[in-house]
Structure 1
Amino acid sequence: MENQGVVKQEVCLESDIKDGEMREVEVGGQKVLLLKSEGEYSAIGHLCTHYGAPLIKGTLSGSRVRCPWHGACFNIKTGDIEEYPGLDSLPCFKVTVENSKIYITADRKFLESGKRVKLMAQRQAEDPHILLIIGGGPAALVCAETLRQESCKGRIIMATQEELPPYDRTKLSKAMDANAESLLLRQMDFYLQYDIEVWTNKEAVSVNTDAKEVTFQDGTVQHYDQLLIATGCRPRKLKCPGSDLGNVRLLRTPSDASAIFQAAVGKNVVVLGTSFIGMEMASYLSEKASSVSVVGSSRAPFLNTFGKEVGQLARKMLESKGVKFYLQDGVKELKGDNGQVTHVVLKSGTVLPADVFVAGIGVLPNSGFLESSSIALDSNKFVIVNKFMQTNIPDVFAAGDITSFPLFLARNKRVSIGHWQIAQAQGRIAALNMLKKDVQINSVPFFWSALAGKSFRYTGYGEGYTEVVFKGSIEEMKFLAFYIKEDAVVAVASLNFDPAVSRVAEILSSGETISKEKALSEDLSWLKLP
């Protein structure tokens, strides 16, 4: 039955779907995800709004479904996004049962789009309240959107020192030749529609918390009633002779990625760093450059996060693409000709040809403009916040990579985590507490890394783990790794083992402890794997 763009269609019998199950069905020529949980039926869009993962392969837990790829969560009764990454929610469709037959009624517009923007308030000129957001990354954007979604009608300003409005920074090392426009998380029309002012090329240089004013590099001063600091981090620069030569690069912006890519095609590339940025760049450039060499101080890539076994696998994956590794080594000097880098001299004495040199050796917080303020920073210059994303100063909040915050998974130990998903979650929590909602951050860290056409997934907080329990086979590149600390699972990583990591993330988010005994067991039925 169809009526003015609305379609009602029988999709299956009640007996076709059991409690706790999901099923893809077709409505009006489009796929829909039908779910039955706790005795009730619901129907939502079938693809994650982040990168389009099929949610049928994810994990259903109570009232929400979690994406198998990157861990985003959606409420199955409303379609609302409840955990990140991503921005948009899913459409939700009406489910009815007639004579033991299940029907779904849906608007064709939402069937075709597969996503929706949550309802947002409009700014009202008579509301004098000013909410100033310094920064233009994921935390800043989610904060601005959440404020409008929660009926904030004041003036929202997002001021970023970058040339572009918020974009998907995670793709910079994974798709280095991507067009900058294609990376934008929202088009400018979106900000205009919802009255979110976006100031680009606007760098904050100081904050006066007594006067509630921020001064910018161009000399302008902006008053605020509430302030969010979300300026993120910047790449750490290499300090050695020759580091000022041409084609010695760092990766931070789309223009950086484009410059590295263009300089690398058909040339010799040396990457310093064996963590995520360095390894992803090496992987992407391996098919474009004449040669790619990776230099690192550890004995295996990703050693601190993934451990030796997974790190060695990552090395083999890149070596199969021609990448050469120089581990337990470092850079002594960069040599050049006519102002351009030509060679990299390692501490071991090895000399590598280099037309392009890229350093991926960690980050530093963009907090220098706060050092003259009363806002508390930790010993590493990260902004100290509580579980509500509040700083020590009333009406001043912080979110994203720049924060040092209490992580519930680590018994509220204060940590700094540079994950896209955590930044988005913190942006939401900051917005809710700017509006006096009294909501704490309880997200479980979740990240991914793309190497040689395959994706590693990771969830939890594994710092200080003492043992790794493997399921599957590292050699066959299909495994699940449990990281153990004090007889409990504190993190997991996987390759080709979906949706195990998402399932563990859901368990950890509930506060449940996964014992070492459970990880050691051959019975993995508790993971509900397909």
Structure 2
Amino acid sequence: MGGCFSKPKPDYISEHLGAFRKEVEDENRLAQLSSGPLPGCSSDTTAHHPCAGGPFLPCGNQGATFSPAPRHVPSRPRCRALDAGATARTARGGFSPQTPAPSAWKHPEINPRWPRPPRPLAGGAGVLLEARGPGRTGARGVGWAGGSPPPRPPAVELKIEVVLPEKDRGKEELSAGGKGSPRAYQGNGTARHFHSEERLPAPHPYPGAQDCVEAAVCHVKDLENGQMREVELGWGKVLLVKDNGEFHALGHKCPHYGAPLVKGVLSRGRVRCPWHGACFNISTGDLEDFPGLDSLHKFQVKIEKEKVYVRASKQALQLQRRTKVMATCISPSAGHSSSTNVLIVGAGAAGLVCAETLRQEGFSDRIVLCTLDRHLPYDRPKLSKSLDTQPEQLALRPKEFFRAHGIEVLTEAQVVTVDVRNKRAVFKDGFKLEYSKLLLAPGSSPKTLSCKGKDAENVFTIRTPEDANRAARLAWGRNAVVVGAGFLGMEVAAYLTEKAHSVSVVELEETPFRRFLGERVGRALMKMFESNRVKFYMQTEVSELRVQEGKLKEVVLKSSKVVRADVCVVGIGAVPATGFLRQSGIGLDSRGFIPVNKMMQTNVPGVFAAGDAVTFPLAGRNNRKASVPHWQMAHAQGRVAAQNMLAQEAEISTVPYLWTSMFGKSLRYAGYGDGFDDVIIQGDLDELKFVAFYTKGDEVISVASMNCDPIVSKVAEVLASGRTIRKREVETGDMSWLTGKGS
């Protein structure tokens, strides 16, 4: 038929529609027998809906488990584009989008277990679906996944066009350079093309009884409301939660670093990790607050004869993590390499989460992620905690992940200018790339010493895995000097004590962490370091680095002391890496930070910013503009930026949360303590078992602790709820309001 669309035959449709519905019903009944992977609920399966322009939400059941919760698996999802007043018409006869096409064997409008379709960015005007015949297993988002398909009749082609209301067409389009790109959603009423060849469905056979495990795990009265319990299930464990009289079963370990969630905090329908503060919805298992990238598996729960039964697939019990379903890029870069729909400058936490969020929300156009590093996105906080870790061990996602989801990563690619008028980024090698939406997440650049000898080959700032690996190698059995007693410097010093012959720390302040944790906590941590053979030179600076044959030999201090050094690691802070933006028209403050609003938008429409290089309104401090260079905060900002590229009007509201680990002891911190005027200590500083509340006036603005989990996570949850903690509440020493279980 070439490029033509023939009129469907009504007799043929009515003849096979009943058979198709019966097949779907049979599949759904079969799915009830298992909690394993459902058809289409894998991280690499995407179904395209004729009304993909509507704001469909992803299925809460992604990740291969059956959940009975009706609120996130509706039995009959409605087309919200049509509800909003969109009109549907078909070419040459055809059917409306609510009529099942013979080729849509896995259409979500008929089979509610099929995952939700992708949707466009802000400004999408319509969708055109081409369906090239029933039962084609080579079609993306369609095809047969189980049972015996009906005989293949003659090919029928269907054309469906959905046009959004006139009021929704005025939004800024997301086409490269505003041109009629074949991969762009247009703002002028033109339709979006999806092809049946877009994606091959991943086969997910229904697991049989041998692939699942089901058992009674407790009596209904064993748990009170607001309680959690880790229960055995087959060869694995499950987190059982009772909240508002309902039982929920989830993966029992945080996907970030494997923390036992049973020791976390249950509040407001979610559980918060006791180690690093990540939050998971107990009804869906979805990740709601960071750090981390993956969600939890949600398992089936039933009550029979006053006993609680949990059913789960063996595979899900082993994995303990679930990657959300993501759309696949249907706009290959071949032939269009000079333009992209979304350009992300910086491949740290903010950039990666932005790209993943776009895919999770159904965006299927081109995404380009560029980075100065030679590596794919990696876990940067680990660099200073474990200097000899190899790059492949730090990777946040394998290269196959980026290929599967169509996220292009340009390594060792430096953007030198941004032309906001023409929406174009220029790279150091002269390459130019047009964009429609831009995220700036360049991070920061480490400060360096300004004294003589600063360029010696064994003087380092820890920025890349290569920096960390080389510093660890050169320090082995030799004399190491660390300049700076902040988080990076102290983590490096702690790590090198077991490798180097000697470790010395040079710091301008009286105690380590003084500005961040206060003098009392800083002195207690300093004693811990001294007991581990670390020598401190406080209230002084480096005046010279003495070099012989290009290599550092001694560090000369302004106090006139000379320290032997075979390697020197400099950790004296960082500055935002925004020099390339100075002539761009994108606003910068006096320190070089990019000011953004709560939606992570800059002063230029279509340009967003996130991560260490931004200042933003901090909700917990009366929307005061703040820079919070935390790993967890970068995750949250990247997601908010992506949501607002999709016109979801999300706002940043997360509570800052950070952590460090030294000599096997972890310190956790939540809130924003800049400008604190008093510190209330509960516990024993000498034993390093304490909680420190930082106050400003009558208000607690942040908290730090060691060996008192999950108090910091509990405080973070209280602050996230919007409640103000008063100074008098923590002065009494009675912290029952914090340690109590439940909301």
For the aligned pair, the TM-score class normalised by the smaller chain equals: over 0.9
SS in structure 1 of the partner of residue 500 of structure 2: coil
1:72 and 1:348 map into 2 onto residues whose CA distance is 45
Query: TM-score, length-normalised on structure 2?
Result: 0.70
Query: TM-score, length-normalised on structure 1?
Result: 0.98
Superposition pairs of residues 114-513 of structure 1, within 5 angstroms: 114-125=320-331, 130-513=341-724
Q: Please tell me whether residue 52 in structure 1 is matched to residue 263 in structure 2.
A: no
1:268 and 1:6 map into 2 onto residues whose CA distance is 56
1:41 corresponding residue in structure 2: 247
For residue 4 of structure 1, report the CA deviation from its aligned partner: 4.7
Q: Please tell me whether residue 526 in structure 1 is matched to residue 737 in structure 2.
A: yes
Does the 8 A contact of 2:329 with 2:365 survive in 1? yes
Does the 8 A contact of 2:340 with 2:368 survive in 1? no
- Which amino acid letter does the alignment assign opposite residue 254 of structure 1? P
For residue 182 of structure 1, report the CA deviation from its aligned partner: 0.3
2:431 and 2:682 map into 1 onto residues whose CA distance is 57
2:678 and 2:408 map into 1 onto residues whose CA distance is 49
Residue deviations 1:250-296 (CA, integer Å, cap 9, x gap): 11000000111111111111111010000000000011001110000
SS in structure 2 of the partner of residue 111 of structure 1: helix
2:444 and 2:374 map into 1 onto residues whose CA distance is 16
List structure 1 segments (4+ residues) > 4 angstroms apart after TM superposition. 126-129
Residue deviations 1:108-150 (CA, integer Å, cap 9, x gap): 2111101110011112239996111011100000000000000
Cα root mean square deviation, aligned:
1.3
**Kindly tell me: are residues 291 and 129 of structure 1, through their superposed partners in 2, closer, same or farther at Cα, counting changes over 3 Å?**
closer
Q: Please tell me whether residue 74 in structure 1 is matched to residue 280 in structure 2.
A: yes
SS in structure 2 of the partner of residue 172 of structure 1: helix
For residue 234 of structure 1, report the CA deviation from its aligned partner: 1.1
For residue 246 of structure 1, report the CA deviation from its aligned partner: 2.3
For residue 404 of structure 1, report the CA deviation from its aligned partner: 1.1
1:514 corresponding residue in structure 2: 725
Does the 8 A contact of 2:340 with 2:433 survive in 1? no
SS in structure 2 of the partner of residue 173 of structure 1: helix
**Kindly tell me: are residues 129 and 344 of structure 1, through their superposed partners in 2, closer, same or farther at Cα, counting changes over 3 Å?**
closer
Residue deviations 1:78-123 (CA, integer Å, cap 9, x gap): 1111111111100001111111110111122111101110011112
**Kindly tell me: are residues 269 and 126 of structure 1, through their superposed partners in 2, closer, same or farther at Cα, counting changes over 3 Å?**
closer
Does the 8 A contact of 1:317 with 1:451 survive in 2? no
For residue 62 of structure 1, report the CA deviation from its aligned partner: 2.0
1:465 and 1:415 map into 2 onto residues whose CA distance is 14
For residue 49 of structure 1, report the CA deviation from its aligned partner: 0.5
Q: Please tell me whether residue 113 in structure 1 is matched to residue 350 in structure 2.
A: no
Rg bigger for which structure?
2
Moved more, 117-126 or 258-267: 117-126
Does the 8 A contact of 1:139 with 1:230 survive in 2? yes
Does the 8 A contact of 1:132 with 1:157 survive in 2? yes
1:20 corresponding residue in structure 2: 226
Which residue of 262, 267, 271 maps to 1:65?
Answer: 271
Does the 8 A contact of 2:424 with 2:433 survive in 1? yes
Moved more, 179-188 or 243-252: 243-252
Residue deviations 1:53-92 (CA, integer Å, cap 9, x gap): 0000000002100000010111111111111111110000
SS in structure 1 of the partner of residue 385 of structure 2: coil
Runs of 5+ unmatched residues, structure 2:
1-32, 34-207, 334-338
- Which amino acid letter does the alignment assign opposite residue 230 of structure 1? A
Does the 8 A contact of 1:79 with 1:91 survive in 2? yes
Moved more, 513-522 or 42-51: 513-522
1:529 and 1:218 map into 2 onto residues whose CA distance is 58
Does the 8 A contact of 1:386 with 1:406 survive in 2? yes
Does the 8 A contact of 1:283 with 1:318 survive in 2? yes
Corresponding residue pairs, total: 530
- Counting aligned pairs with the same residue, the percent is 50
2:38 corresponding residue in structure 1: none
1:309 and 1:320 map into 2 onto residues whose CA distance is 17
2:201 corresponding residue in structure 1: none
Which residue of 26, 30, 51 maps to 2:236?
Answer: 30
For residue 241 of structure 1, report the CA deviation from its aligned partner: 1.4
- Which amino acid letter does the alignment assign opposite residue 117 of structure 1? T
Residue deviations 1:463-499 (CA, integer Å, cap 9, x gap): 1111111111111111001111111110000000000
Structure with greater strand percent: 1
Superposition pairs of residues 80-95 of structure 1, within 5 angstroms: 80-95=286-301
Q: RCO higher in 1 or 2 (8 Å CA, sep ≥ 6)?
A: 1
Residue deviations 1:415-442 (CA, integer Å, cap 9, x gap): 1111000000000000000110000000
2:541 and 2:698 map into 1 onto residues whose CA distance is 36
1:126 and 1:263 map into 2 onto residues whose CA distance is 45
1:486 and 1:408 map into 2 onto residues whose CA distance is 18
2:72 corresponding residue in structure 1: none
For residue 217 of structure 1, report the CA deviation from its aligned partner: 0.8
Does the 8 A contact of 1:37 with 1:62 survive in 2? no
**Kindly tell me: are residues 150 and 435 of structure 1, through their superposed partners in 2, closer, same or farther at Cα, counting changes over 3 Å?**
same
1:189 and 1:84 map into 2 onto residues whose CA distance is 23
SS in structure 1 of the partner of residue 387 of structure 2: coil
1:404 and 1:494 map into 2 onto residues whose CA distance is 26
2:734 and 2:592 map into 1 onto residues whose CA distance is 45
1:79 and 1:482 map into 2 onto residues whose CA distance is 31
For residue 372 of structure 1, report the CA deviation from its aligned partner: 1.1
- Which amino acid letter does the alignment assign opposite residue 645 of structure 2? M
